[in-house]
């Protein structure tokens, strides 16, 4: 990691570069602290679509780290906030907070999407939901390495959860979109099928793509790190289309 950071520092941040100061200000605006190592954040915001195939300088390793840190911080926060709730409730709440769509919305709310660099030719609008959420996890990984665990906890709780996530509303909201679309199909006597379109593994990461078919026609498509997440996203998209008709 040390050699990689030195490489990025030399290549991406020439001395007294105006873009460096602009990038530093953007990171400060998101985190409210002065970054020690800007190269980490640049790496976190560099999608694999712009990296040559023979190189490994993308945000995927930081995404792996950030995913683990985020999951731990959210789990601890929920454990303390809801001392009387059982494991199933805590697991469901954590899933609602860290699913792809939620993380994508958080990324856009704090401005991570505006700093992310990616190849628009290889990343379509549907995939952006996945890309933005992954970038936020990579950003969290950068915060952890740059500032340490406690600072990362403060960033997640103070800058993400407390400002942008209404836990009480989340508790009362039914996010089981798959059950909803199945119930609708049964009520309206429609044939429904959840089809696994692809399952990819890239550098230790798994991505599932699922489609919802109503009467044989694709009604929704979803992406996720698990099949369940992909099914929920696909079902949600299908429900949105039904509500428009």
What is the spatial distance between Cα 22 and Cα 204, in angstroms, rounded to a whole number?
33
195 in catalytic set? no
The residues, any chain, with a CB within 8 Å of residue 191's CB and separated by 6 or more, are 185, 213, 214, 215, 216
User: Which residue of the set 67, 101, 113, 146 is catalytic?
Assistant: 67
- Alpha-helix runs per DSSP H in the chain: 2-12, 18-31, 38-44, 60-81, 87-98, 100-110, 112-115, 125-147, 149-154, 162-164, 167-172, 177-187, 227-244
168 in catalytic set? no
Other Cβ atoms less than 10 A from the Cβ of 39: the count is: 20
User: Which residue of the set 101, 113, 137, 231 is catalytic?
Assistant: 137
Do residues 71 and 98 lie in contact, with contact meaning Cβ atoms separated by under 8 Å?
yes
Q: For residue 144, what are the CA distances in angstroms to 2, 39, 62, 139?
A: 15, 14, 10, 9
- Reported residue count of the chain is 245
Active site residues: 67, 137
């Amino acid at each position: 990691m040390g050699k990689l950071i030195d490489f990025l520092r030399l290549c991406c941040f020439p001395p007294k570069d105006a873009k460096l100061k602009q990038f530093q200000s953007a990171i400060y605006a998101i985190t409210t602290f002065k970054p020690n190592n800007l190269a980490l954040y640049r790496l976190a915001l560099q999608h694999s679509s712009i990296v040559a195939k023979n190189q490994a300088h993308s945000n995927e390793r930081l995404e792996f780290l950030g995913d683990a840190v985020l999951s731990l911080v959210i789990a601890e926060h929920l454990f303390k906030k809801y001392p009387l709730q059982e494991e199933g409730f805590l697991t469901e709440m954590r899933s609602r907070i860290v699913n792809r769509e939620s993380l994508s919305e958080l990324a856009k709310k704090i401005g991570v999407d505006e700093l992310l660099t990616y190849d628009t030719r290889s990343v379509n609008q549907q995939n952006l939901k996945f890309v933005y959420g992954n970038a936020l996890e990579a950003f969290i990984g950068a915060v952890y390495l740059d500032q340490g665990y406690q600072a990362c906890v403060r960033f997640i709780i103070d800058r993400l959860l407390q400002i942008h996530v209404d836990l009480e509303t989340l508790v009362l909201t039914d996010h089981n979109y798959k059950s909803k679309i199945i119930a609708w199909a049964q009520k309206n006597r429609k044939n429904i099928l959840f089809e696994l379109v692809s399952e990819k593994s890239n550098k230790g990461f798994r991505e599932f793509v699922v489609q919802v078919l109503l009467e044989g026609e694709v009604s929704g498509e979803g992406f996720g790190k698990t099949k369940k997440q992909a099914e929920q996203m696909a079902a949600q998209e299908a429900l949105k289309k039904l509500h428009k008709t």
